[in-house]
């Protein structure tokens, strides 16, 4: 495996997390999936080892590290347990990143230290029944009342809703239609009028505690306003880097796990008196999978390094997310094929690997939306040929 110019500290982080995740998190991965149970106890272990709030600056109790370190950690977590890797994002993903980038000093003071310690898990809530790719159609509304806000409406598909204490919620504020009228608020679990609705059971990532959010005359104080309308582009720019961490990184880690496991399987399983791995046609499948994984890792590491160097671009982010999403579906699907009926059996991890990555092509901007973003840059002549 190439080392991509990783520093000694980065290699140490990668190797330590890999050992920790294989020892502590891999054994419970199948159970978390089967029982639809978020493995929150693993976040405590991560906190004990200093792997929560990596991105949060040291002045707020974090490690002040970059996106590259986040990617190295999430990749190794996902190799062991995709649901744990998703929960890691609750301390080092969208909401902490938004707080660091755009939060008020009081909001940072109130939340970042606890997030860095892994005590406060966070969720990010944008989607609604009629606002998925079309973020500008958010209908959940915050209305000013006294010195605070009253929120009414509901949200869908909120990852980690069942275990999070703090929610960054996109809401419609004021009269403007479309994106111009969308702002954001911070809502704490337990606020009267705010409840976690139905558990939402998707094909995979069943241990992420995804749920609906319901706001019924939920009153929040004025200081919980996070972003006035008209500033959504700023929030989306801050979150652009985050698109590289949880989603495609989890895809990469899961694809690596599927590849590693199935390679061993075809070396061991005998058919026609010899190992499956002796069949040249199957060797070529392994080679294609290796090519796919290596290309995805190169894209992801390069994009993360560019973000850390302040050179991120929408093309990097979108090309990386869309490619890695599709790579993971190809690789995990092929792993099931190479496994034969074992590949589809719940006794083995391959069907779970496929289920865990399949939804990533939809979450955090669908592959089609990212392809549209790439095409826009290409057609405008901003893509460097
Ligand atoms: C695993 C997972 C985790 C998620 N976690 C969260 C979360 O934590 N918080 C949150 O707020 N949301 C979350 N979501 C929701 C996610 O953000 C939405 O599912 C996503 O934005 C797509 O919206 P949609 O499902 O309504 O699909 P739609 O927007 O209805 O799209 C349906 C299809 O049409 C295509 N399409 C739509 N518009 C266009 C267009 N203009 N051009 C071309 N094709 C188009 C899409 O690509 C897709 O194939 C999660 C989803 C998944 C699967």
My answer on whether 64 and 180 are in the same domain is no
Domain annotation covers residue 183? yes
**pLDDT value, residue 2:** 60
**pLDDT value, residue 174:** 83
My answer on whether 300 and 357 are in the same domain is yes
Q: Which domain holds residue 274?
A: 232-379
- Atom of ligand 1 at shortest distance to CA of 135? 21
Q: SS3 string of 141-186?
A: EEEEECCEEEEEEEEEEECCCCCCCEEEEEEECCCCCHHHHEEEEE
Per-residue pLDDT tens over the stretch 58-90: 999 999 999 999 999 999 999 999 999 999 999
**pLDDT value, residue 385:** 67
Domain annotation covers residue 3? no
**pLDDT value, residue 4:** 84
Specify the CATH number for the domain of residue 256: 1.20.140.10
**242 in Cβ contact with 93 (< 8 Å):** yes
Domain annotation covers residue 173? yes
Angle 74-77-81 from CA coordinates, rounded to 5°: 130
My answer on whether 127 and 116 are in the same domain is no
Burial of 341 (0-12, 13-18, 19+ CB in 10 A): exposed
Q: Which residues contact 82 (CB under 8 A, 6 or more apart)?
A: 29, 204, 205, 250, 253, 254, 353, 356, 357
Backbone φ, ψ for residue 170 (5° rounding): -80, 130
Using the mean position of ligand 1's atoms as its centre, give its distance from the Cα of residue 203 in Å. 15
**pLDDT value, residue 243:** 85
Active-site positions read 92
Using the mean position of ligand 1's atoms as its centre, give its distance from the Cα of residue 314 in Å. 18
**pLDDT value, residue 236:** 87
Q: SS3 string of 44-58?
A: HHHHHCCCCCCCCCH
Q: Hey, whose CA ends up nearest to atom 52 of ligand 1?
A: 363
My answer on whether 189 and 258 are in the same domain is no
My answer on whether 300 and 206 are in the same domain is no
Residues in the chain: 385
My answer on whether 252 and 371 are in the same domain is yes
My answer on whether 166 and 57 are in the same domain is no
Bridge partners, residue 125, by sequence = 169
Using the mean position of ligand 1's atoms as its centre, give its distance from the Cα of residue 276 in Å. 39
Query: Residues enclosing ligand 1, CB less than 6 A?
Result: 124-127, 132-133, 157-159, 202, 205, 359, 362-363, 366, 368-369, 372
**pLDDT value, residue 1:** 53
**pLDDT value, residue 312:** 79
Specify the CATH number for the domain of residue 197: 2.40.110.10
My answer on whether 115 and 127 are in the same domain is no
My answer on whether 245 and 372 are in the same domain is yes
The ranges of the chain with pLDDT < 70 are: 1-2, 385
**pLDDT value, residue 382:** 87
Of 257, 268, 263, the C-alpha closest to 285 is: 263
My answer on whether 181 and 308 are in the same domain is no
My answer on whether 29 and 42 are in the same domain is yes
**pLDDT value, residue 238:** 84
Q: Hey, whose CA ends up nearest to atom 43 of ligand 1?
A: 368
- What is the DSSP pairing of strand 182-188 with strand 148-158? unpaired
My answer on whether 31 and 94 are in the same domain is yes
């Amino acid at each position: 495996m190439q080392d991509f110019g990783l520093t000694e500290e980065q290699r140490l982080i990668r190797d330590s997390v890999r050992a920790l995740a294989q020892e502590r998190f891999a054994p419970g991965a199948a159970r978390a999936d089967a029982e639809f149970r978020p493995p929150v106890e693993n976040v405590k272990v991560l906190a004990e080892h200093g792997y929560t709030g990596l991105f949060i600056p040291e002045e707020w109790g974090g490690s002040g590290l970059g996106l590259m370190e986040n990617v190295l950690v999430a990749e190794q977590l996902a190799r062991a347990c995709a649901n744990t890797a998703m929960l890691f994002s609750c301390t080092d993903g969208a909401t902490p990143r938004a707080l660091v980038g755009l939060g008020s000093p009081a909001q940072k003071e109130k939340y970042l230290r606890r997030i860095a310690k892994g005590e406060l898990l966070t969720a990010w809530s944008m989607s609604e029944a009629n606002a998925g790719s079309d973020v500008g159609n958010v209908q959940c509304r915050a209305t000013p009342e006294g010195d605070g806000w009253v929120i009414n409406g509901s949200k869908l598909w909120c990852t980690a809703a069942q275990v999070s204490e703090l929610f960054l919620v996109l809401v419609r504020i004021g009269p403007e239609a479309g994106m111009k009228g969308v702002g954001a608020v911070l809502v704490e679990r337990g606020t009267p009028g705010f409840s976690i609705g139905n558990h939402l059971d998707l094909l995979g990532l069943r241990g992420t505690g995804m749920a609906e959010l319901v706001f019924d005359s939920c009153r929040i104080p004025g200081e919980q306003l996070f972003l006035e309308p008209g500033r959504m582009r700023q929030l989306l720019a801050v979150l652009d880097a985050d698109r590289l961490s949880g989603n495609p990184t989890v895809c990469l880690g899961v694809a690596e796990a599927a590849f590693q496991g199935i390679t061993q399987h075809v070396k061991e399983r005998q058919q026609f008196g010899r190992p499956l791995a002796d069949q040249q046609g199957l060797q070529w499948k392994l080679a294609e999978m290796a090519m796919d994984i290596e290309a995805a890792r190169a894209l992801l590491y390069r994009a993360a390094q560019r973000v850390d160097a302040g050179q991120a671009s929408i093309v990097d982010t979108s090309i990386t997310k869309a490619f890695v999403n599709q790579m993971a579906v190809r690789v995990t699907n092929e792993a099931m094929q190479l496994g034969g009926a074992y590949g589809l059996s719940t006794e083995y991890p391959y069907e779970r690997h496929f289920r865990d990555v399949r939804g990533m092509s939809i979450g955090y901007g669908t592959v089609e939306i990212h392809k549209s973003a790439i095409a826009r840059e290409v057609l405008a002549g901003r893509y460097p040929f």
